Chain A
Amino acid sequence: LSRIGDELYLEPTESGLSLRAVNSSRSAFASFLFAPLFFQLYEPGSAGPDTELFRCKVHMKPLLGVFRSLPSLEKSVWKCLILLKPRASRLVLQLHCKYGVTKTHNLAFQECERLQAVFDTQRCASRLCVTARVLAEAVVHFPPTLAEVTLGTGPGGKISLRNYVEDEAEPSKTMVTELWLAEDEFQSVAVAPGSHITFCLKEFRGLLSFAEASNLPLTIHFDEPGRPVIFTLDDTVLEVHLVLATLSDLQSNSQSPSTNGVSHLPAPSDDFADDLESYMAAMETSEGCSEGPPSPTFPLHTPRPAKSKPEEEEEEEEEEGAVPGTPPPKKFRSLFFGSVMTPGRPGPATAQEVLAEDSDGE
């Protein structure tokens, strides 16, 4: 979670303790839900008729400091007690270690609004299920500094991973790495043919390491470019979601969200050179694309009282009405963060129409 954001949101619920994080541009959201059974003792406290269950956020760095050294933690700590003390404004973490030693950390917290990205895995046209190890081995071929990667589906059910190259980059100076995985490397493949999405690899790596360490299979739900990609890990006592915004594809002709993502990028062939050239050509034809509004992106709907929207996101909403001729800057659209009306687990969205523009004027 620290790979995503600088603050950890803690929300104890009836169904477990939820830990969440969001990045500064609100294009990545992750949540870990630990069921009550994960704990030896779980008392979420009780919500009154008018009050919700207490929640707060803490700074990531001091929290990481408490759990600094994993190997020594495993050897020396036998119990960890977590207490939220609203009146003292303290999150208490008490580690009971060997030799009878007790380490108590009293961390300051801030109260916060509920952090919840709205996403719906049911509405995703494509789904892949794979062991973390397969993906980790694939990702190792990309440089650690690589920001974005494109996941695509190809003929014969093959899945590709390619580093994303910016439009402005000169083809002669960039290196493109492309990797194809056969269908049988995955536990299950249910994808819309010819679909692809581009997301931030850096933010994904954190989850990938966790999945590897916990030996849980990873499920990837995706749809069209611009719609978020959702990575999930499921276990009897743990549910993990990572939602990443994806780059929207301005030259794609699909306007409605529920099509099978027919893309105008050339279908990947086995001839690498042709493939690359036509891929580059397609990226360059984003100019002159003047039909209708571009692919839907997610407005940011902050709950009242409104938190200040990030600067970037205001600009984006203006851009949507801007002349489509200009090549889009490589920004990820912000994720849609739903209203705080309904408490409950992150899951299928409520009846809110995802495509609704923010009714606030810009």
Chain B
Amino acid sequence: MPFSAQPPASGERYALSASLDNARHLSSLLRAVHFQDHATCLATASGLRVTVEDAKCIQANAFIQAEIFQEFSIQEESVMFRISLSVLLDCLTIFGTSSLPGTSTALRMCYRGYGYPLMLFLEEGGVVTVCKINTQEPDELLDFDFCSTKVVNKIILQSEGLREAFAELDMTSDVLQITMSPDKPYFRLSTFGNAGSAHLDYPRDSDLMEAFHCSQTQTNRYKISLLKPSTKALALSCKVSIRTDAQGFLSLQYMIRNEDGQICFVEYYCCPDENITEAEL
């Protein structure tokens, strides 16, 4: 439903202005990275990237490319600000979170520039809400220096096979141990909880395995509390790629198809846990 109310006054230049017919295309993705209150937004000509970090160990990025928007115009090379993700999500879902077919909230987003608040115009069924969210100085973001050339092991799995596993992870375990290997057990997720250990093995010839490129046996442990929020992204996605580099840094990339069939990506980067002890088998 085309958004017609409150167009920006002529003569005003907005550093960023974008329109989206269905705000859910943005809100569902943002929810997949919502494990901290604040996020850093970076807008470039390619689209919007929203980054959330925690404990200097984990970083999640939600990418909404420009093509998803009905209108996406940016006057500067890049625009970056820090904003309360909780408030942003509350505003985007101000008309409620239930997704009734046929109804959707239309969104217009405007940002005048450095120091200005982010303006949101939301409309559903003729009712308009205007939100003004303060922006802050963006933080320095972690650079995991994770590039495809440094990847040691990579697998691509259908998300369906991992969803239940992640939802049922033994949270009494401090760590999630990931083993990737060209030999058995190929791909293994392990937890070491109060009652004992649990291992989830995925063979390389499983129907769920879309790609299997493991050159070296690697076993790395990650703090389970940091990875657990990625379950939301997993739930939305249809495929996930799991990659590790020589230092054990983990990259999880989720391919998400929205209601209109468009593809978006969410990725999580995680440092290995420093207290490495002998894995209990």
Contact B194 A62 (CB under 8 A): yes
Chain A CB within 8 A of B224 CB: no
Contact A61 B207 (CB under 8 A): no
- Total count of chain B residues near the partner, CB < 8 A: 20
Contact A100 B206 (CB under 8 A): yes
A91 to chain B, nearest CB (A): 8
Contact B194 A101 (CB under 8 A): no
Count of inter-chain pairs, beta carbons less than 8 A: 61
* Known contacts A100-B207, A101-B206; A90/B198 CB under 8 A: no
Chain A CB within 8 A of B208 CB: yes
* Chain A residues in the interface with B (C-beta under 8 A): 58-59, 61-63, 65, 68-69, 72, 76, 90-91, 99-108
Chain A CB within 8 A of B196 CB: yes
* CB-contact partner of A59 in B195, B197, B201, B208, under 8 A: B195
Chain A CB within 8 A of B205 CB: yes
In the complex, residue of chain A having the shortest beta-carbon distance to the beta carbon of B189: A103
Contact A103 B195 (CB under 8 A): no
Contact B199 A103 (CB under 8 A): yes
* CB-contact partner of B161 in A72, A99, A105, under 8 A: A99
Contact B170 A101 (CB under 8 A): no
B179 to chain A, nearest CB (A): 13
Bound Cα distance from A76 to B160, whole angstroms: 12
Bound Cα distance from A90 to B281, whole angstroms: 11
Bound Cα distance from A65 to B202, whole angstroms: 20
Can you list 10 A-B contacts (CB < 8 A)?
A62-B195, A90-B196, A99-B202, A99-B207, A101-B200, A101-B208, A103-B198, A104-B200, A106-B198, A106-B199
In the complex, residue of chain B having the shortest beta-carbon distance to the beta carbon of A98: B207
Contact A99 B200 (CB under 8 A): no
Contact A104 B206 (CB under 8 A): no
- B171-220 CB contacts (< 8 Å) to partner A: 193-203, 205-208
A70 to chain B, nearest CB (A): 13
A residues in contact with B195, CB < 8 Å = 58-59, 61-63, 65, 107-108
A60 to chain B, nearest CB (A): 10
Bound Cα distance from A102 to B205, whole angstroms: 13
Contact B201 A104 (CB under 8 A): yes
Bound Cα distance from A68 to B167, whole angstroms: 12
* Known contacts A62-B195, A105-B196, A108-B196; A100/B202 CB under 8 A: yes
Bound Cα distance from A101 to B158, whole angstroms: 13
B155 to chain A, nearest CB (A): 13
Chain A CB within 8 A of B76 CB: no
A314 to chain B, nearest CB (A): 32
Bound Cα distance from A192 to B121, whole angstroms: 79
Contact B168 A99 (CB under 8 A): no
* Chain B residues in the interface with A (C-beta under 8 A): 161, 164-165, 168, 170, 193-203, 205-208
Bound Cα distance from A338 to B199, whole angstroms: 40
In the complex, residue of chain A having the shortest beta-carbon distance to the beta carbon of B160: A99
B187 to chain A, nearest CB (A): 10
B198 to chain A, nearest CB (A): 5
Bound Cα distance from A103 to B203, whole angstroms: 12
B residues in contact with A101, CB < 8 Å = 161, 200-203, 206, 208
In the complex, residue of chain B having the shortest beta-carbon distance to the beta carbon of A90: B196
B residues in contact with A91, CB < 8 Å = 196
A106 to chain B, nearest CB (A): 5
A225 to chain B, nearest CB (A): 40
B residues in contact with A105, CB < 8 Å = 196-199
Contact A102 B196 (CB under 8 A): no
B127 to chain A, nearest CB (A): 40
Contact A65 B201 (CB under 8 A): no
A residues in contact with B200, CB < 8 Å = 101-104
* CB-contact partner of B196 in A62, A72, A99, A103, under 8 A: A62
In the complex, residue of chain B having the shortest beta-carbon distance to the beta carbon of A89: B196
Contact B198 A100 (CB under 8 A): no
Among B194, B201, B207, B208, residue most surrounded by chain A Cβ atoms (within 10 Å): B201
B197 to chain A, nearest CB (A): 5
- In addition to A100-B202, A101-B161, 17 A-B residue pairs with Cβ atoms within 8 Å of each other are A62-B194, A62-B195, A63-B195, A76-B164, A99-B202, A99-B207, A99-B208, A100-B206, A100-B207, A101-B203, A102-B199, A103-B198, A104-B199, A104-B201, A106-B197, A107-B195, A107-B196
In the complex, residue of chain B having the shortest beta-carbon distance to the beta carbon of A61: B195
B residues in contact with A61, CB < 8 Å = 195
* Known contacts A62-B193, A65-B170, A108-B196; A99/B206 CB under 8 A: yes
Question: Which 8 A-B pairs give the minimum distances between C-beta atoms?
Answer: A62-B195, A100-B206, A107-B196, A102-B201, A104-B199, A100-B203, A106-B196, A99-B208
A residues in contact with B165, CB < 8 Å = 103
A residues in contact with B198, CB < 8 Å = 103-106
B residues in contact with A90, CB < 8 Å = 196
B residues in contact with A69, CB < 8 Å = 164, 168
Bound Cα distance from A312 to B253, whole angstroms: 58
Bound Cα distance from A102 to B201, whole angstroms: 5
In the complex, residue of chain B having the shortest beta-carbon distance to the beta carbon of A72: B164
Bound Cα distance from A99 to B202, whole angstroms: 8
B residues in contact with A104, CB < 8 Å = 198-201
* Known contacts A65-B170, A72-B164; A100/B196 CB under 8 A: no
B residues in contact with A63, CB < 8 Å = 195
A199 to chain B, nearest CB (A): 32
B residues in contact with A107, CB < 8 Å = 195-196
